[in-house]
C-alpha cells in the first residue's frame, strides 16, 4: 500500500512553526516510515505534485493575493488541510498590523524616511506583493484541523501527523493545544 503524501508550505509569518516539525527529533524516522514527505522543511522540495496529497500543512496568515492563491492551491490539492500555528489559526502576530492604516504606514516608511532609496515614493514593482489585511487561513479556505501555538507543541504535531498517516482523524484535547 502506498504511503499517504504530506505536503507543507508557509505564508505570512516567521516560518518558526513550520520548522517545529523538526522538533519531533528522532520520531521523524517513524513518521517517514508512515508517510511520503513531499514539500517540507526536511525534503526542501518547493512544490509538491498536484495529485494525491493526503495532508496539506499550511503555516502563516494570508497576507496578500499571492498567499491567497497559495492557500487555494493547497486546499485544492489535498484531502485534509492543517492550519499550523497561531498565524494560520487566527492571524497571530502579523495580524497586529491590521490595526494600522497601510497607506499611511507605507507613506511614512518610503516617503517620509530619509534612509530609503525610494526617492520619496512608494515602490510600484509588480514583483513586490502588496500587503493587505492579514487573515487567518480559515477566512480563505476550509480548514480541517487547527494546531495553534507559536510554535505548536512537537508532540501534538507528531500525534496529528501519525494519526492521519494511519487513516484516523486525531482527537485533539484542550491540553494538547497551545492556545495563547
Alpha-carbon distance 180 to 176, whole Å?
Answer: 13
Tens-place pLDDT, residues 81-116:
999 999 899 988 888 888 888 788 878 878 887 765
| Residue 139 confidence class, pLDDT cut points 50, 70, 90 | very high
Alpha-carbon distance 21 to 118, whole Å?
Answer: 39
Handedness of CA 138, 61, 51, 7 (dihedral sign): negative
Average pLDDT, the chain: 81
Alpha-carbon distance 52 to 35, whole Å?
Answer: 12
Report the pLDDT averaged over residues 17-39. 76
Helices of type H across 36-118: 65-77, 86-90, 102-110
Domains of the chain: 5-95+133-170 (3.40.50.700)
CA distances from 46 to 24, 32, 39, 41, 50 (A): 21, 18, 6, 9, 12
**Reported pTM:** 0.80
Which residue, 3, 50, 58, 53, is CA-closest to 31? 3
- 3-class state of residue 5 by DSSP: strand
- Ranking 10-14, 40-44, 120-124, 130-134 by mean pLDDT, the lowest is 40-44
CA distances from 75 to 14, 30, 81, 129, 133 (A): 21, 26, 6, 21, 21
Residue position matching grid coordinates 514527505: 37
Amino acid at each position: 500500500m502506498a504511503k499517504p503524501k504530506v505536503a507543507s508550505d508557509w505564508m505570512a509569518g516567521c516560518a518558526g512553526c513550520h520548522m517545529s516539525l523538526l522538533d519531533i527529533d528522532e520520531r521523524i524516522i517513524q513518521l517517514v516510515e508512515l508517510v511520503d514527505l513531499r514539500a517540507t522543511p526536511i525534503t526542501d522540495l518547493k512544490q509538491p505534485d498536484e495529485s494525491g496529497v493526503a495532508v496539506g500543512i499550511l503555516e502563516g496568515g494570508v497576507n496578500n493575493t499571492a498567499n491567497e492563491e497559495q492557500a487555494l492551491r493547497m486546499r485544492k490539492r489535498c484531502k485534509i488541510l492543517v492550519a499550523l500555528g497561531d498565524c494560520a489559526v487566527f492571524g497571530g502576530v502579523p495580524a497586529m498590523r491590521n490595526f494600522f492604516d497601510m497607506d499611511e504606514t507605507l507613506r511614512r516608511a518610503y516617503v517620509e524616511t530619509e534612509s530609503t532609496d525610494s526617492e520619496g515614493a512608494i515602490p510600484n514593482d509588480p514583483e513586490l506583493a502588496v500587503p493587505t489585511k492579514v487573515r487567518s487561513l480559515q477566512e480563505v479556505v476550509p480548514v480541517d484541523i487547527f494546531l495553534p501555538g507559536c510554535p505548536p507543541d512537537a508532540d501534538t504535531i507528531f500525534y496529528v501527523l501519525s494519526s492521519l498517516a494511519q487513516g484516523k482523524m486525531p482527537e485533539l484535547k484542550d491540553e494538547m493545544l497551545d492556545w495563547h
